Structure formats: structure tokens, C-alpha cells
Amino acid sequence: MSAAPDQSRPPRFEFEQIADGLPDGIAVCDREGGIVFVNAPLAELLGYRPAELVGLPVETLIPDRLRERHVSERRRYLTSPARRPMGLSLDIVARHRSGHEIPVEIGISQVAGDPAHLIAVVRDMTESLAMERAHRTEADLYQTIVETSNDLILVVTDELRVVFANSGAIELFESHDVPLVGRPLPADADPMLGALRTMLEGGGHADATVERELLLHDADGREVWVHVRVRSLRGASGAAIGSVVSIADVTERKRAEEVQRQLERDIRETQKLSALGRLAGGVAHDFNNILQVIGGTAEIIRDTTADDDLHEALGAITEAVGNGMHLSAQLLAYSAPGADEVRETDASHVAHGLLPFLDRLVGADVDVELHGAQESAVVGLAESEIEQILMNVVLNAGQAMTGSGTVTLGVLRAVETSVTSPGDTIDVVRITVADTGPGIDEDRLPHIFDPYFTSKAEGTGLGLAIVYRLVTEAGGRIAARNRDGGGAELVITIPLLI
């Protein structure tokens, strides 16, 4: 009578069918490392047919450089066998038939009820590692972008605690002894962080990106414009958990925009002055012809009369005509400079030569002091134009003072940022005229260079307008301000030719 078949485990062919249908590779080895079974997925992965591997040492599937270590590891495992699940290491490789290496993950255990055999589950990790490398590369790329950004980048929780700051933010704020990461945003330790805290406390960014430009002052008191962008940060559930904050220094852009606006204002002013100049020139020319007739007639009558009263009246007429002709000359000078003059003059030389006349021009009670003017400062103006500039600004300063005082004239070479190219510098002569008078009324300050604007009863309002035209036509700039210590100051900068 034959014995009944053993039903305690599936027949071998059923096990092989099950193993061949699994996505992972399966290998069964004896204690000496001989392969007794390999399923089809593992054989295909390594470039073999299953039957070719049966009976070979398992080290056949290990790269040459790792075989000795594998033998030692296998023997050590057999001394104290324990189930080793997958996922403990990704640094395992198998050897393909062609010799190239395949990254794998392996789980090992003893065959249940058969301690003489080990079963290994082998999983191809090629795609997983490629994806991991891609994710790591992407993460490294993002990290590099964040760390090399010119912006300061912070991640802040809803409780206003900083949980991340890029190196730029850490370097800036911690250099000011303001710790960042792991701490709440300080309210008063740093003006930029204080403004940011106020902005975040105001809310309004939970469902949208909020952007603002803020004017702050750094530790040295200098104005700094920053562009702050706050974007909501959401967790896996979609709920807001904090904010991503980027802070960009836009001071240079703001300065460039202001330069552009000033250039546009200057162009409009120049166009207005040019139109007024042409009108003034035409009026002055006709007016001068009339005055010449009146003056000439008065001189003829004066020379032929013996009447003292008439003689005195004719003298008054002649004096008034002279004043009118002087005004006409100013109008003509404002409308068009002399075309025959050389427009290349050393401003320092002219200032030295003109100083005695300037001293007499302002009167006995006012002193004129000249500072600088030691270096050559050649500009694109005629000598008469520089004289006209100096006479008008010094006379204006002298007339601003009641009683005694001092007018300080400075002529110095300097280097300034180019108006048209903010990144470049140019050599200029800086002419400054300061007085010890009461200063200029703030409401009058923006208009002092306007034609015919004057605060003096006897003034024509053309002196500083002429100066403005001459300076701007030479590519320069002129500005007025009240000094902190009292008095007013005009600052003229004109590009140097040499």
C-alpha cells in the first residue's frame, strides 16, 4: 500500500509557479552558498535562464570586488540567523552576466522548517535610485537657488517663529547680533525684521501673495528701500501653516527711478526755459532798439541845452535808459550766449581773477571768501558765462543778508555718480556758494530758478534763471538748500572736460 502524499507544504512545481509570478526575484541557497532555486524574474534580471544558475555558488551573482566580503557576511549570518527585511540598505549590488552592476535591495530569512536553506528576495532598485537621484538633484538645485539668491528668504510659522533662513538672511541679521532660526521675529532688534513682523501681524496674506515696498534705515542711518513678498505656505492638508518671505534690496532701482524722474523734470524745465528765452530775446532786442533811440536823443538834447533843470532831467533819462539797456542785455544773455566765444574755460582761474570784483559787488559789509580753486577745472563754458554764473550766485547770496555777513565761494574738483549712467562716475567741478543769511523760505525754494521769480522788490528774477540755463546746457546740475547751521547754500556741479 503506497504512502499518502505529504500535504504540509505545496509541491515544488506549485512553489515555482508562485515564485515565477512574483515581481521580485527569489533565490534559495544551501548553507554552503550553493544555489538550489532561482525564479524567472531574478534570472532575467541578471541575464540568465533559471536552470543555468542552479548549482552555482551564490557569489556568482556578486561583483568580483565584493565576493570575499559577501562570503564573510554569509557565514556570519549563519552563526546567528535572523530575518533581515528589505529596506535596511540601498548599497547592495548584484552582478549581471555581462559584468555590469545592478543596484538591488535584498531581504534574507531561513526557509521555514528547513534551517539548512536560506531564501533571498531581490528587488531591482535601478528605477528607484534614478528617481531618488533626480529628486536629490532637484532638491540640491532648489537649495542652491535659495542659498545663492540675492534676496533674503525666510520661512515663518503662523506664530511668527523663523524655521528657515537662507545664508544671506543669516549673515545679514546675525551680523547685527539678531539670532534668527528657531526664534520669533523680533519686534525692535532690527528695523527690517520689525517692519516684516508688523506686516505679518496685519494678516491679509493667508490666501494671496502680498507685496510691499518699505523705506527703512539701516544701522548707519542710511535709507534702504526693500521689496517684501509674502506668500502663504500650506501643509499636506491644504491648511496654512506659515509664510515664505523674500526680501529684496531695491534701493538702487529706486534711486535710478528718481534719477529718471528728475531727468524728465529737467527736460520739461529746459523746454519751458528755452521757449521763454526765445520770447525774452525777441522782446529784449526790440526794447534795446527803442532805448537806444531814447538814450541817443536825450544825449543830443543834453549836450545842446544850458538849462540846469532840463539838464538834470535829461541825466535821469539817460540813467534810466542805461538801466533798461542793462536789463535788455540780461534778457539777451538769457536767450542766447555769445556764439563767438571759446567754450572751454578753467573755472578755478576765472574764480581767482574775479574775486576782487565779487568782493566789491556785494558791498562793504559782506566778505567774500574763496575756498579751493587750486586745481585746474576746465568746463564747457565760455569765460564770460562762468563770470556770469559766479557774479549772479554771489550777488544773490550777498543780497540775502541784511547787515554784515560772509559769502563763501568754493571751487573744487570732485567725483560724482553719472546722472545718465548711475553705475558710472564722472569728474566734475563742484561750485558751492554759502551765505550767513536767514535762509530761503521752504515754499520759495522749489521756484528760485524760475524765470522772473524774485523775492526782492528791485530784482528782475533772471539772475538765477540764467545760471540754471548755463549750468544745465553744460551738462551740469544746480540745487539749493538751507543749511542746518543757518543760511542757504547753492551747489553747482559741471562735468570737467580735462
Residue bearing the bigger pLDDT, 168 or 486: 486
Give the separation between CA 417 and CA 415, rounded to whole angstroms: 7
Give the pLDDT score at 433: 94
DSSP labels, 101-115: EEEEEEEEEEETTEE
Confidence class for position 214, pLDDT limits 50, 70, 90:
confident
pLDDT single digits (tens) 269-280: 766 666 666 666
Predicted structure pTM score: 0.40
List where CATH 3.30.450.20 sits in the chain.
12-129, 149-249
Residue bearing the bigger pLDDT, 131 or 453: 131
Of all residues in the chain, what percent are helix, strand and coil, respectively (each to 5)? 40, 25, 30
> How many CA within 13 A on the CB side of residue 25?
24
Cell numbers given for 70: 559577501
Sheet containing 152-157: which strands, arranged edge to edge?
A: 162-165, 152-157, 240-249, 223-234, 210-217
Q: Give me the helices (H) in 362-473, please.
A: 383-399, 463-473
Residue 268 CB contacts under 8 Å (≥ 6 apart), including other chains: none
Cell numbers given for 408: 563763501
List where CATH 1.10.287 sits in the chain.
259-335
Give the angle subtended at the CA of 356 by the CAs of 352 and 361, to the nearest 5°. 120
Give the pLDDT score at 75: 83
Mean pLDDT value across residues 464-490: 88
pLDDT single digits (tens) 384-427: 888 888 988 888 888 888 878 899 999 999 988 776 666 788 89
Residue bearing the bigger pLDDT, 148 or 214: 214
Residue bearing the bigger pLDDT, 251 or 8: 251
Query: Minimal CA–CA distance to 364: which of 394, 400, 405?
Result: 405
Spatial contact of 465 and 450, defined as CB atoms under 8 Å apart: yes
Give the pLDDT score at 98: 93
Give the pLDDT score at 320: 80
Confidence class for position 9, pLDDT limits 50, 70, 90:
very low
Q: Give me the helices (H) in 22-66, please.
A: 40-46, 50-53
Give the separation between CA 224 and CA 245, rounded to whole angstroms: 18
Task: Please report, as a single letter, which amino acid is at residue 498.
Answer: I
Evaluate if residue 160 carries a pLDDT over 90.
no
Superfamily for the 345-495 domain: Histidine kinase-like ATPase, C-terminal domain (3.30.565.10)
Confidence class for position 90, pLDDT limits 50, 70, 90:
very low
Query: Minimal CA–CA distance to 78: which of 30, 46, 17?
Result: 30
Q: Which residues is 308 bridged to in the sheet?
A: none
Evaluate if residue 380 carries a pLDDT over 60.
yes
Confidence class for position 459, pLDDT limits 50, 70, 90:
low
Tally the residues of the chain.
498
Q: Tell me the C-alpha to C-alpha distance, in Å, between residue 363 and each of 149, 230, 357, 394.
A: 62, 63, 10, 11
Evaluate if residue 38 carries a pLDDT over 60.
yes
So what's the architecture of 12-129 in CATH? 2-Layer Sandwich (3.30)
Give the pLDDT score at 457: 54
Mean pLDDT value across residues 440-462: 74
Mean pLDDT value across residues 38-56: 92
Q: Which residues is 211 bridged to in the sheet?
A: 229
Residue 32, φ and ψ in degrees, nearest 5: -85, 0
Give the separation between CA 495 and CA 478, rounded to whole angstroms: 12
Q: Residue with C-alpha cell 556578486?
A: 62
So what's the architecture of 149-249 in CATH? 2-Layer Sandwich (3.30)
Residue bearing the bigger pLDDT, 210 or 11: 210
pLDDT single digits (tens) 170-190: 776 765 565 677 777 776 666
Confidence class for position 245, pLDDT limits 50, 70, 90:
confident
DSSP labels, 116-181: EEEEEEEEE-HHHHHHHHHHHHHHHHHHHHHHH-SSEEEEEETT-BEEEE-HHHHHHHHHTT---T
Give the separation between CA 394 and CA 434, rounded to whole angstroms: 9
Evaluate if residue 455 carries a pLDDT over 70.
no
Q: Which of 24-28, 127-131, 168-172 has the lowest mean pLDDT?
A: 168-172
Residue bearing the bigger pLDDT, 15 or 57: 57
Confidence class for position 136, pLDDT limits 50, 70, 90:
confident
Q: Give me the helices (H) in 305-412, please.
A: 308-335, 347-361, 383-399
Mean pLDDT value across residues 31-53: 92
Give the pLDDT score at 193: 73
List where CATH 3.30.565.10 sits in the chain.
345-495
Highest mean pLDDT among 33-42, 114-123, 205-214, 258-267: 33-42
The mean of the pLDDT values for the chain is 79
CATH (residue range 259-335): 1.10.287
Q: What single-letter DSSP state applies at residue 9?
A: S
Residue 222, φ and ψ in degrees, nearest 5: -80, 145
Query: Minimal CA–CA distance to 432: which of 494, 353, 384?
Result: 494
Give the separation between CA 161 and CA 27, rounded to whole angstroms: 53
Mean pLDDT value across residues 292-319: 80
Highest mean pLDDT among 10-24, 414-428, 473-487: 473-487
C-alpha of 297 from chain center: 69
Give the separation between CA 212 and CA 196, rounded to whole angstroms: 10
Evaluate if residue 2 carries a pLDDT over 50.
no
Q: What single-letter DSSP state applies at residue 368?
A: E
